[in-house]
């Protein structure tokens, strides 16, 4: 008599969902809910940077203010610009550019510089991104003092459009998040990206109207935009500065500047979600 051996078929292995869009969104959401952690870490970064300093974080304001005033006076004299107009223009450009520059360069190092925390604390990777963005907002808040002082000395025309600076700052924050995610994760895997970004950012600084004005580029005889001005408009950073600096200077900002920035933000977030979905789980192994 033959005996039938009852053998159970082993269950199929569970399929990991670590590389799904749902997990990427959950990481971002969980990071926001642990705000106490990244708020504390971001503030500690500022305190640690100026530890044992008499003026402390005020050095942020002093350094930015001195640089902006010096460059404004120098290039204003070289270009024959009215200092009352050009100095606020340069100062605001420096303040918003510092936010953009720091978001890119520090965002690229966000994971590699936090290797210990990533391996020791079971927290969402987005916590470290929010920490960088929060730190940039603290620095920006210190630099607001410069804006107030400049407007006291050189009062700009007051218009309701000045309120547009608030949605501009929101867009800056949203861009800072996706930039830190994309460059932070990719730089963790390919360390040369950080060095490349440093070079590119320095180059873009001189290509962006910060210490020079687009008014010097002029228009054609027919009143159209000059080819040089059209070339400048290919630089996305020009549009970011226009939507943030323009309202504070009492200038009307054309809608296409906002459209370009919003478009860049949407594309950047799509790229960030793609990177988060595919490589978020590998950050701990790459650092």
Each residue's pLDDT tens digit, 206-225: 999 998 888 766 655 445 67
| Distance in angstroms (rounded) separating the CA atoms of residues 282 and 287 | 9
Residues 171-180 have pLDDT tens digits of 999 999 999 9
Does residue 104 have a pLDDT over 70?
A: yes
Does residue 257 have a pLDDT over 90?
A: yes
The pLDDT assigned to 12 comes to 46
The pLDDT of 177-195, averaged and rounded, is: 90
Does residue 56 have a pLDDT over 60?
A: yes
Percent of the chain scoring above 70 in pLDDT: 88
What is the band of 227 on the pLDDT scale with cuts at 50, 70, 90? confident
Task: Give the residue with greater pLDDT, 201 vs 120.
Answer: 201
Q: 240: burial class by Cβ within 10 Å (0-12, 13-18, 19+)?
A: buried
| Distance in angstroms (rounded) separating the CA atoms of residues 93 and 86 | 10
Tokens of 86: 């050009």
| Distance in angstroms (rounded) separating the CA atoms of residues 133 and 28 | 13
The pLDDT assigned to 244 comes to 93
The pLDDT assigned to 221 comes to 47
- List the single range of 54-58, 109-113, 165-169 with lowest mean pLDDT: 54-58
Does residue 231 have a pLDDT over 80?
A: yes
The pLDDT assigned to 219 comes to 56
| Distance in angstroms (rounded) separating the CA atoms of residues 276 and 273 | 5
Does residue 229 have a pLDDT over 70?
A: yes
User: Considering the entire predicted model, what is its pTM?
Assistant: 0.86
The pLDDT assigned to 171 comes to 96
The pLDDT assigned to 54 comes to 66
The pLDDT assigned to 84 comes to 86
Residue 168 CB coordination number (10 Å): 22
Contact 109, 187 (CB under 8 A): yes
What is the band of 137 on the pLDDT scale with cuts at 50, 70, 90? very high
The pLDDT assigned to 122 comes to 80
Does residue 18 have a pLDDT over 70?
A: no
The pLDDT assigned to 284 comes to 80
If we measure between CA atoms, which residue out of 75, 64, 65, 72 comes closest to residue 102? 64
Alpha helices in the chain (DSSP H): 21-33, 35-49, 58-79, 83-108, 115-120, 126-153, 165-189, 192-207, 227-232, 236-248, 255-279, 283-286
What is the band of 1 on the pLDDT scale with cuts at 50, 70, 90? very low
**Sign, Cα dihedral of 203, 206, 209, 215:** negative
The pLDDT assigned to 114 comes to 81
Residue 282 CB coordination number (10 Å): 15
Tokens of 285: 């192994």
The pLDDT assigned to 218 comes to 61
| Distance in angstroms (rounded) separating the CA atoms of residues 20 and 80 | 57
The pLDDT assigned to 216 comes to 66
């Amino acid at each position: 008599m033959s005996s039938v051996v009852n053998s159970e078929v082993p269950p199929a292995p569970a399929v990991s969902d670590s590389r799904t869009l749902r997990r990427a969104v959950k990481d971002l959401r969980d990071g926001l809910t642990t705000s106490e952690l990244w708020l504390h870490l971001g503030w500690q970064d500022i305190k640690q940077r100026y530890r044992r300093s008499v003026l402390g974080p005020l050095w942020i304001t002093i350094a930015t203010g001195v640089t902006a005033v010096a460059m404004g006076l120098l290039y204003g004299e070289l270009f024959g610009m009215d200092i009352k107009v050009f100095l606020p223009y340069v100062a605001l450009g420096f303040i918003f550019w510092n936010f953009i520059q720091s978001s890119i360069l520090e965002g690229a190092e966000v994971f590699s510089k936090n290797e210990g925390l990533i391996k020791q604390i079971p927290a969402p990777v987005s916590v470290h991104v929010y920490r960088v963005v929060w730190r940039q907002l603290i620095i920006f808040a210190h630099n607001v003092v410069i804006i107030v002082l400049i407007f006291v000395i050189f009062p700009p025309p007051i218009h309701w459009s000045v309120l547009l600076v608030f949605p501009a700052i929101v867009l800056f924050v949203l861009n800072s998040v996706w930039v830190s995610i994309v460059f932070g994760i990719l730089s963790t895997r390919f360390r040369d990206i950080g060095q490349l970004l440093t070079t590119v950012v320095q180059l873009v600084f001189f290509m962006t109207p910060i210490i020079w004005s687009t008014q010097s580029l002029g228009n054609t005889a027919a009143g159209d935009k000059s080819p040089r001005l059209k070339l400048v408009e290919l630089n996305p950073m020009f549009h970011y500065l226009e939507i943030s600096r323009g309202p504070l200077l009492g200038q009307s900002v054309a809608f296409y500047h906002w459209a370009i920035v919003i478009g860049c933000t949407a594309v950047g977030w799509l790229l960030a979600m793609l990177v988060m979905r595919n490589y978020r789980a590998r950050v701990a192994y790459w650092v």
